[in-house]
Structure 1
Amino acid sequence: MPWSPFASNLYKQYYVDFYGFGYDQSTDDYLLVTMSSQDDYNWAPLPCLELFSLRANAWKQIKDTQFTYTRPIGNEHPTTGFLFNGAIHWFAYCCELRRDVIVAFDLMEKKLFNIHLPGDFHRELNQFGLWVFGEFLSLWAVYYFDGHNDDICNHRLEIWVMKEYKVDSPWTKILVHSFDDISHKYFFPICSTKSGDIIGRYEFTLAKCDNKGQLLEYHSYFNDQRGCEVALYTESLLSLPDNEQAWEDD
């Protein structure tokens, strides 16, 4: 993949804040999207929105963005986008609105739009995220109540869904789970099953809980102190080989 001609001219001034990968079904094309900001010592950094087309093997700059976005306060690393309903979503700070929002890039229309967070939603970055719950765009957040002793920790998972996917649709809080069976407080949801069970991770363990927060099963998958990440795989661009095929290829 070639370097962006825009980034190569501006790399000393621009910093990539957001990136994501998705599919434009209208053109049968896969797109890499990046959004960067320029620190020009003003309160609103200048934006640079770009996309790379795998079909055209070329970069394109999207101009005339309505708002300016930066990483939310406290986030020092570029943010990976969440793909849903033909758009890539990020948590971002909107400079003009002076508040955190969800900003989405529509892969077909090639434009940005804002989705506001719930009015009572105030969390630190490592305590919430976007996912799909059932068939809806969903927002999860975790509360921690550990008092004066970290060994005794109760934590609660709250889930909001957007039942009608559009800019002005309200969020509906549908579930509040208390996880008393999970001994470690850092539990992060990954996906939900058709029956409403929640699969998540804590430390190096995958866990499945029912819709009342009761632990159903768990499995340790890693014990390296350097850490690792867990991601949900959805078959799209490239199919992963099964065990038999991988063995034959070796």
Structure 2
Amino acid sequence: MMETENTDLPHELIILILQRLPVKSLIRFKCVCKSWFSLISSDTHFANSHFQLTAATHTHRALFISTQTRSIDLDASLNDDIASVSLNLNSTDDYLVVSMSDDHSPQLLEVFSLRGNTWKQVKGTHIQSMHAVEDDQKVGLFFNGAIHWFAHCLDLQKDVIVAFDLTERKLLDMHLPDQYGYEFDCCGLWVFREFLSLWARNYDNDTVEIWVMKEYKLHSSWTKTHVLPIDAIPTKYFSPLHSTKNGDIVGTNDHTMLVKYNDEGQLLGHCYCNDPHGTQVVMYTESLLSLPGDNVQA
């Protein structure tokens, strides 16, 4: 490792440049000099600034978790290589686990803080008005500082979206679109163009409908934006994951294949992305942040 860095550029400018580089490049550049090693490895302010810039300007990636964990840039071509990665976490100064227990009546909602190493029960909520739905719907969607999932509200006798605000530690209900009449086993939540969005499979005509809440928490802002034909997909199933910078919609068929549509709803192509036994798929943003009390870099 070099003892000194190139001083042709001001130190502040070097930091601004490094903050805009991918994590993979930064990990390599730790060996340039001692000051870069210290900056990239242990400077919390640098790591937070890098994460904020990455989340705002860089592409998001999908993580395929199976017998082999792999990652892909969904803004790239489906024919590009899918990179193998190791599992490391990225996020904020604390990591929270939200648990809803089915073994209690009323149901018990608890939050675990990794930094504090404590579980806290959320009180004063209407959690008792909900019951759990299908197992594959229990994993919530993180959006706008809250975790969202489907539930059936017994008080209202209707299906709703429930959001748990991680900052306020409060639950709120959001009604589904008025014309939305699908069962939970054929629909899902995702983020489309920075909006909370729903997708639902229409079994009658082999299409997937996409609904967007254009103003968060405002029921009247629900708008149906796309109807995607899925008859050309071998499994006739499509679950959206991500909308690219140029408006394409990327998703999976049954967690073994990536499928891409353009903004006009035309099928652009598909490719197999993992083993035939299926896998879990999650979206993530690369960062240098590490778990509290851990020195492993993400």
Q: What TM-score do you get using the length of structure 1 for normalisation?
A: 0.71
Which portions of structure 1, spanning 4 or more consecutive aligned residues, are displaced by more than 4 angstroms?
Answer: 236-239
- Higher alpha-carbon Rg: 2
RMSD after superposition: 2.5
- Count the aligned residue pairs: 200
Q: Does 1:205 align with 2:205?
A: no
- Say if 2:102 and 2:132, in contact at 8 Å, map to a contact too: no
- Say if 1:22 and 1:31, in contact at 8 Å, map to a contact too: no
Relative distance call for 1:77 and 1:178 in structure 2 (3 A) is: closer
Following superposition, the deviation at residue 172 of structure 1 comes to: 1.3
Q: Which runs of 5+ in 1 are unaligned?
A: 1-20, 40-44, 146-153, 240-250
Counterpart of 1:184, as a letter, is T
Relative distance call for 1:167 and 1:61 in structure 2 (3 A) is: farther
Correspondent of 2:281 among 188, 212, 230:
230
- Say if 1:22 and 1:32, in contact at 8 Å, map to a contact too: no
- Listed as ranges, the matches of 1:42-61 within 5 Å are 45-61=105-121
Following superposition, the deviation at residue 101 of structure 1 comes to: 0.8
Following superposition, the deviation at residue 223 of structure 1 comes to: 4.0
Correspondent of 1:123 among 166, 182, 191:
182
Following superposition, the deviation at residue 170 of structure 1 comes to: 3.3
- Say if 1:177 and 1:213, in contact at 8 Å, map to a contact too: yes
Correspondent of 1:31 among 81, 88, 96:
96
State the partner residue of 2:77.
none
Q: What TM-score do you get using the length of structure 2 for normalisation?
A: 0.60
Q: Which of the two has greater strand per residue?
A: 1
User: 3-state DSSP class of the match of 1:126?
Assistant: helix
- Listed as ranges, the matches of 1:1-250 within 5 Å are 28-38=93-103, 45-68=105-128, 69-72=130-133, 75-76=134-135, 79-145=138-204, 155-166=206-217, 168-203=219-254, 204-224=256-276, 226-235=277-286
Residue-by-residue CA offset, 1:19-46 (whole Å, 9 max, x unaligned):
xx996x7xx422111122446xxxxx31
Residues of 2 paired with 1:133 and 1:186: CA distance? Answer: 18
Residues of 2 paired with 1:213 and 1:56: CA distance? Answer: 47
- Say if 1:67 and 1:96, in contact at 8 Å, map to a contact too: no
Residues of 1 paired with 2:216 and 2:135: CA distance? Answer: 30
Residues of 2 paired with 1:92 and 1:234: CA distance? Answer: 28
Residues of 1 paired with 2:288 and 2:171: CA distance? Answer: 24
Following superposition, the deviation at residue 230 of structure 1 comes to: 2.4
Identity across the alignment (%): 51
Relative distance call for 1:108 and 1:100 in structure 2 (3 A) is: same
Following superposition, the deviation at residue 83 of structure 1 comes to: 0.2
